[in-house]
Structure 1
């Protein structure tokens, strides 16, 4: 029996968002958020919070959630971005299994030569009196840095939407946690490759374009 509690965090997003590449009914779509400053080209401060939360308990034995969000900030001088996946299991037993899966993929695009960035990425699997729970939280944060602002092409958006559809199918699957982790890691590698292909076509500048992946996985049981 185990009990782990962690504080929740809150933030305000000052962006306008549009949905593209929607999945079937009941599934989250690939979201792109573009702040007004990204349109005007004015350097600004960027703030974003993306979170996926799932809860399984004696009344709802399975809860599997996923998200993939693209944040396009344009030219910035400072940025604070947080990505969080939280999977909670409550009150199940070894004879009454529960499964809670939360996967969050956040893609942050920002331009500038001297950007001060505070990037936080967390995956938390929490069991509360739940010997029969399987919880998995996976957080992937992709930071795309370029010297000049650029927009993702239709082809790139289509490739990301295809990965998102496969992520949704994986999240709802019955794979063991270890197999699910490996498969989602493989999709994350595909996202990295797609973004690197995209930045290769970005406007050139004194700073070399770069794609950085932050990855944090947490699970119960651990194996």
Structure 2
């Protein structure tokens, strides 16, 4: 589930990031594995889940208002290693005090995993830059939600419907001309609703067999927030 503006060079950049992240996770898992453990590289890769998402907005004198949001759900299933990258970047470039720019980028990433992770490589970053842009408004917010359960878990149809509703509300911020601090507060409020929804979904989910009965743990929902 995503909401983003088209970018023609996106595929190549994402493929490169996926490759680097997969390599990092595979290397981390290999380091964490017991000495002498027999596992081919293909088997290791098969149990590594990768998620890379990004929102990118850039305002200039020719396009003074730019907004981009990403709302991604990555259900990775049973994995030994997981690599998750979430990033929001907003830039305002070359506008004047008389004609200021406004650039907003928001990225929401939901990642669910089952089983005991031997290696988790997760980063969540944002960057807002005013480049020779006096009086410009620039805001970037990255919100990452990691759901981990010891048993098989998938989001229900009703949970996905509710997440789709929250995604639409995030998209509505594109039309907002409210002050940046108000936009930030609205994004924070949506993020809090996502956390509540995920926690309720985990609590209400049927408890199937543990993926790894010897390493059971309590289900967790963790939110990471970075704003700039």
TM class by smaller structure: 0.7 to 0.9
- Tell me the distance in 2 between the aligned counterparts of 1:115 and 1:182: 36
Structure having the higher Rg: 2
State the partner residue of 1:20. Answer: none
Q: Distance in 1 between matches of 2:218 and 2:56?
A: 35
Q: Is the 8 A contact 1:43 1:75 kept in 2?
A: no
CA contact 1:121–1:141 (8 Å) conserved in 2: yes
| 2: CA distance, partners of 1:113 / 1:45 | 12
Which is further off, 124-133 or 138-147?
124-133
Are positions 1:197 and 2:212 aligned together? no
Superposed displacement of residue 43, structure 1: 6.9
Residue 123 of structure 2, aligned match among 104, 120, 123: 120
More strand by share: 1
Shift of 1:115: 3.7
Matched, 1:209 2:219: yes
Quick one: distance in 2 between partners of 1:211 and 1:43? 24
Q: Are residues 1:61 and 2:67 paired?
A: no
What residue in structure 2 maps to residue 148 of structure 1? Answer: 151
Q: Distance in 1 between matches of 2:46 and 2:112?
A: 13
Distance in 2, Cα, partners of 1:102 & 1:171:
10
Displacement of 1:151 in angstroms is: 1.5
Counterpart-to-counterpart distance in 2, 1:217 and 1:111: 29
Give the unaligned 5+ runs of structure 1: 1-7, 14-41, 219-223
Match of 2:177 in 1: 174
Alignment of 1:73-88 (within 5 A): 73-88=76-91
SS of residue in 2 equivalent to 1:12: helix
**Tell me, what secondary structure is at the counterpart of 1:184?**
helix
Gaps of 5+ in 2: 1-12, 20-44, 211-215
Q: Secondary structure at the match of 1:11?
A: helix
The C-alpha deviation readout for 1:5-24, integer Å capped at 9, x for no partner, is xxx995127xxxxxxxxxxx
CA contact (8 A) 1:64 1:172 kept: no
Cα-Cα RMSD: 1.8
Contact 2:143 2:224 in 1 (8 A): yes
Shift in Å at residue 172 of structure 1? 2.6
Higher share of residues assigned helix: 2
Indicate conservation of the 8 Å contact 1:82/1:119, yes or no.
Answer: yes
Give the SS at the match of 1:208.
Answer: coil
Q: Matched residue of 1:200: which SS?
A: helix
Contact in 2 for aligned 1:43/1:77 (Cα 8 Å): no
